[in-house]
Amino acid sequence: MPRRKLRKHAPEFKFKLVVESLRGERTRTEIARENDITKSLLYKWEQAFLEQGSDVFRSADLRTKELAERDKRIADLERLIGRLALENEVLKKFEMQINSPPHKNGR
């Protein structure tokens, strides 16, 4: 039997199926069959949801603090890139001056 081409499922689709499965109104097999996925894939999505679901309930203050720290880190890295780009330009100009042939008047 030929292998099925890998598909990407939207997060909303995964969430909908996981919630439906966790409600227990229908079996995983039924949900998987109706949505053309494997039961094991649905189980993996459930496990990921249960392990990472606590992130949903983290306080807004904590998320805001994490975003502020990321923004600061990004700003620091952008400053570093700017400084390195400037240094690179200066070194290129210096290298061109050193490697250029001497002028006739000795300068």
89 in any annotated domain: yes
Do residue 53 and residue 81 come from a single domain?
Answer: no
Domain coverage including residue 38 = 9-57
76 in any annotated domain: yes
CA distance 46 to 1: 28
Do residue 42 and residue 79 come from a single domain?
Answer: no
pLDDT tens sequence across 15-37:
999 999 999 999 999 999 999 99
Instruction: Look up residue 32 and give its amino acid.
Output: A
3 in any annotated domain: no
Do residue 66 and residue 92 come from a single domain?
Answer: yes
What's residue 5's pLDDT?
78
Using an 8 Å Cβ cutoff, are 46 and 27 in contact? Answer: no
- Which has the closest alpha carbon to 17: 29, 6, 32? 32
CA distance 65 to 71: 10
Phi and psi at 70, nearest 5°, equal -65, -45
pLDDT at 1 over 80: no
